[in-house]
């Protein structure tokens, strides 16, 4: 009587390896896109906080903060964003005078991807912005489809 062998054949092992590689090949890019999209909330949160701080600054000073010194200085002399970075450090923050050229009228706050952060691979949304009216922008433009994709 011959004993029945127990175990896996090489073909069975190769099929398992093939299936696992297909599953990983499909899931890793999806996961990376998800993490990049989640990282954008760091920029949107920072920009919304800047917009609120700008309104407080405007009430106290009669104009918006428009320089790096005013962005990083503690209130009431500035907006209080130490280091000019978002909370997680994924984005560099800036404030500037808006299109009118007058700090008493408008501002634009921008969050640009930090080239050394985990967000550096986000080529779809390299920058987000907001102005005194709450108008949101992405990648330097106000195209609704781009703004919706980057700000969600």
Domains in the chain and their CATH numbers? 10-151 (3.30.1300.70)
Query: Which residue has better confidence, 26 or 63?
Result: 63
Residue 31: name the closest of 121, 100, 94 by CA: 121
Q: How confident is the model at residue 2 (pLDDT cuts 50, 70, 90)?
A: low
DSSP reduced 3-state for 121: helix
d(C-alpha 106, C-alpha 120), whole Å:
30
pLDDT tens digit sequence for 46-98: 999 999 999 999 999 999 999 999 999 998 899 999 888 999 999 999 999 98
């Amino acid at each position: 009587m011959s004993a029945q062998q127990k175990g896996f054949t090489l073909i069975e092992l190769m099929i398992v390896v093939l299936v696992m590689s297909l599953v990983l090949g499909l899931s890793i890019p999806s996961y990376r896109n998800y993490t990049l999209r989640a990282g954008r909330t760091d920029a949107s949160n920072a920009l919304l906080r800047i917009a609120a701080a700008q309104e407080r600054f405007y009430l106290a000073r009669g104009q918006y903060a428009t320089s790096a010194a005013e962005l990083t200085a503690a209130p009431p002399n500035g907006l209080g964003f130490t280091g000019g970075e978002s909370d997680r450090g994924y984005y560099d923050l800036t404030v500037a005078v808006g299109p009118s050229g007058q700090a008493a009228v408008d501002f634009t706050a921008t969050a640009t991807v930090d080239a050394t952060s985990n967000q550096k691979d986000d080529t779809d949304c390299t920058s987000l912005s907001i102005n005194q009216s709450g108008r949101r922008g992405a990648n330097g433009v106000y195209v609704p489809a781009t703004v919706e994709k980057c700000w969600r």
